[in-house]
Amino acid sequence: MDPVPPVDAAAPGFLPAPAEDAATGDAAMPEGMRNGREIFQAFREGLAEPGCDAGTTRYQAHFRHAPSRLADPDSDVLPLFGYVVEALREAHLPTEYALIPFVESGYAPGARNAAGPAGLWQFITQTARDQGVPVHKGYDGRLSPAESTRAAVEYLRKLNGMLGGNWRLTAMAYNAGESRVLQALRRTGAGALEAKPSSLQGLSPITYAYVDKLHALGCVLKQAGEQDEWLARLDRPVLALEARPLEGAGNLHAWAMGNGQDADLLRRLNPALAHRWTSPPLALVPAIAAPPPVALDAIRATAPANEPAAAATATAATGNARVHTVRSGESAWAIARRYGVAVRKLLELNNLGPNSVLRPGMKLRIED
């Protein structure tokens, strides 16, 4: 699968740094959040080959922007990377494979290649279908990071077992197809575990380069991890994502409104779900518990058409509490997420009910 240029993901996947727990001194993560530095640590601990060899310098310049993309608080890359790393660790697979979406799509769920591959993992249609990803008119599961990551992890597990746990040969098979790599391996007469990519003859130069790119990218991130300043940029709450079937609704907006989720965020993360559906699709959503049944339409900010947008967000300190001034278009979910509190707690603290309406200019207490 040929790499495609990274696609910008202009969406916040973060919250301001949380307060430390008074008893332990540790930063308490808000619901649905995880620490970005811990994501990177999990990646490092899962590497099959944590060292760097001399052959990686050729491609390191190509990936020089990868650390800044991971550390960018206005990008969805780190939450998606964390989701993939966790899926690979649960499957007992090397986390080098979490670099594949970087090379393939720039970690953009909606990436499409003019040659046909699509999605985070750049599956071609037939490979996606072979791995159980539905691709049909009105729905392309390759554009669902939940569907495609499930399929990619299963496919990589199969290839990894077939090739003796050799992550480099597995990556080559992911790129070129298992039959080509197995044929090349048979010609060498060597076992898969000890075989090196350079010993396999007759494969495309793109396939040999593919492994070098993954290793080079891993080394770029390893070098970034030795810089305190970069690690400090990761040390923040990041969205924890989970795959969940969207039951009880026929479209993304309706499901989001009924489950206390941000519809715009879900659209960004799940470009496959642009249309209505008849059976619950698998989607990637923030790992938060649904609030009591509420019509989020009733608690979102609603302003008359002529309401000026000048009521900008403001946060002021009042004693030990913070006060947030609601601006046009803000929802209770978005405000709660910003400050790391549950929607339910935000409503209760301000004597609001599930049917309350937020209006621009309202003052909301954020914490006691």
Instruction: Give the residue numbers marked as catalytic.
Output: 104
Give the ranges where the chain is alpha helix by DSSP (H).
36-45, 57-60, 66-71, 77-90, 100-105, 125-130, 145-162, 167-176, 178-188, 205-224, 228-234, 252-258, 263-269, 296-299, 332-339, 343-349
Pairing label, strands 241-245, 282-286: antiparallel
Supply the DSSP symbol for 283: E
Query: What residues contact 318, with CB distance under 8 A and at least 6 apart?
Result: 365
Query: Could you tell me how far CA 140 lies from the centroid of its own chain?
Result: 18
CB 280 within 8 A of CB 79: no
Looking at the DSSP bridge assignments, the partners of residue 314 are 325
